[in-house]
Amino acid sequence: MPPSINPLDKFPGKDKDAYEAVHPLVRTNPVTGWKSLFTGVNSPRDGWINGVTERENEILKDYFKQLFVENHDLQVRNRWGKDDIAIWDDRSVDHVATNDYFGKRTAYRVSSVGEKP
């Protein structure tokens, strides 16, 4: 399997470590019209909510994290079987793998360039 590819590798001269982006906290999916929370790159712990104090930032992120953790109706869990495949829209879904499987697992990721949020 090829190594992960950073999309910024395609832009020579860009400092990948200094890359920053600003996203709206509430995002509207351009296809479905559904609203969702942008939780950060990997988790609600990442990032900063503009326009609030550091303490308010932490309170809000902790609150959003609890919403995701405690509300099972906001979660999808899959028990993997042979030849299973999962596809989701990263504009509205946050992926977290639960380490509750055994044996070899192979994953391939396909990403596309999306519109600006």
Out of 23-32, 37-46, 78-87, pick the least confident: 37-46
pLDDT in tens, 55-94: 998 898 888 888 878 888 878 888 888 888 888 887 777 7
Joined tokens for residue 68: 């995701």
Phi, psi of 37 (to 5 degrees): -90, 135
How high is the pLDDT of residue 6? 58
Stated length of the chain? 117
C-beta of residue 2 within 8 angstroms of C-beta of residue 58? no
